[in-house]
A and B are shown apart, each in its own frame.
Chain A
Amino acid sequence: MSKFSLITDGFVKNNPTFVLVLGMCPTLATTTSAMNGLEMGLATLFVLVLSNIVISLISPMVPDKVHIPVYIVVIATFVTVLQLLLQAYLPSVYQTLGLFIPLIVVNCIVLGRAEAFANKNTVGDSALDGIGIGLGFTLSLTVIGIVREILGSGSIFGWKFIPGDGILAFVMAPGAFMVLGYLMVLFNKFAKKN
């Protein structure tokens, strides 16, 4: 049961976007549509799980003074792996997410989980934590993407069901802040009570 809660905690209780408020830059920048949000979430999930695994393996050997640089190098390595994989197999995703793929390195969620969880837990638990937090992040990004896509272009995952142009502002910068703000209000009102 506790193993299971490691994963589900990331959805609501430790939700990286609405509760921990980490990794705001990709959250705002890449959620112009549901698909983009989902892709960004999965890319972060990939790096998060692998770096959590490696960091939990090497952390006993790393001297305390240099642990942050070491962690950053581990994370940057997996980001580079992801960059090369995407360039080779999913060039369209690489194009849409653009700058925000290399910027996973400085996503505070990844380093935050390394510091707060992976360096003092077993490999298995760290992997599960990475999956949980990663899925929570993916879920929030997809939800924000869905809302922005419906309001901004009247479609959902590219399937258009409202005729007309939609409210352009929601695809642009102001909509990102506004949707995140109002979703956070709803989250505070309904989810935080339990």
Chain B
Amino acid sequence: MEYIIIIVSAIFVNNILLAQFLGICPFLGVSNKLSTATGMSGAVCFVITLATVVTYLLNKYLLVPFELEYLQTIAFILVIAALVQMVEIVLKKISPSLYQALGIFLPLITTNCAVLGVAITVVTKEFTFGDASHMLNLGQAVVYAIATSIGYGLAMILFAGLREHLAMNDVPKSFKGLPIALITVSIMAMAFLGFSGIV
């Protein structure tokens, strides 16, 4: 049951883009075309899940036992940067086709605050399940990371679809580009508000 609550709340209720405002820069940057939006969502999903597992273990077995929690920010961002580099190198060797598809997005992900945001949320925030609230265990953290990135992908792909249509319409000059995109996102966020209260 806890897993279902985590999944529904991460995808719909607390959607990472539309309710938590994490990872907005790439969201606005690469959502011009449906194909690039899909590629970026895939890359983000992969890196968020991997980074969450690594930083969770790092925090639990290294930082907390040695009382080094104040190094969290520095340690996490370094781990994420190194991880992204490694994923890039490994993918290039094992699966050149996947590397081709994700390639250009990978370096951008280091500075995607969604990755660091999820990593920090998982180790600092208490989650409420019915009456009880507690920190996530590793399994729940992984599920949370995957569900969050599915939510990211969902919002991104929906928005890219809208934006492709938007590009063909005649909008006033000062609304062109980002302003009209932001107003569209606002309406999407309003629709997603409808999910609040489900869990």
Contact = CB atoms under 8 A, between A and B. Distances in A.
Contacts of A178: 182-183, 186
Contacts of A174: 186-187, 189-190, 193
A24 B19 CA distance: 14
B120 interface: yes
Contacts of B112: 106
A25 B116 contact: no
A25 B29 CA distance: 13
A177 interface: yes
Q: Per DSSP, are chain B's interface residues mostly helix, strand or loop, or mixed?
A: helix
Given A24-B28, A80-B70, A106-B113, A176 B21 contact: yes
A103 B116 contact: yes
Nearest to B72: A102
Interface residues of A, number: 42
Interface stretch (A49-57, A148-156, A179-187): A179-187
Contact of B74 (A25, A80, A181, A185): A80
B24 A84 contact: no
Interface of B: 18-25, 28, 70-74, 77-78, 81, 110-113, 116-117, 120-121, 124, 173-175, 178-183, 185-187, 189-190, 192-193
12 contacts: A26-B21, A69-B81, A72-B81, A83-B70, A83-B73, A106-B77, A106-B113, A169-B190, A178-B186, A181-B178, A185-B175, A188-B179
